[in-house]
Structure 1
């Protein structure tokens, strides 16, 4: 198990993820990131013009995936 972080860029501002989540693989972490992006986009109050992106980063700071809200496939 490795810790992955999911910071979010919303309206051009980075919202850090200081806690992270434990996953058995980068693929599982990426799938979770896609699900988070989908859930954000499903919120009726979400503004599609905000350019929100969920980023998946491993514990070494390496970017694993980016999921644009509104276009996330999971």
Structure 2
């Protein structure tokens, strides 16, 4: 299992993820990041113009994926 982190870029600022999640494969972490983005977009109070992005990063700091909230990836 490898640890992946999911920082969120929102309104020009980054919300760090200092805990992360464990996944066996990068593809599973990518799917989780997409689900986080969908969950944010489903919030009725979410600001659609915020330009929010969920970034998937592995433990070495390498970016695995990006998921635009409410957008097409």
Fold conserved between structures, TM > 0.5:
yes
| TM-score (norm. length: structure 1) | 0.95
* Structure 1 unaligned spans of 5+: none
Q: Distance in 2 between matches of 1:28 and 1:51?
A: 24
What residue ranges of structure 2 are gaps of 5+ in the alignment?
A: none
TM-score by length of structure 2 reads: 0.97
Misfit runs of 4+, over 2 Å: none
- In the alignment, the residues of structure 1 paired with residue 51 and residue 29 of structure 2 have an alpha-carbon distance, to the nearest angstrom, of 21
Counterpart contact for 1:7–1:17, Cα < 8 Å: yes
Give the aligned length.
73
Q: CA deviation at 1:71?
A: 1.9
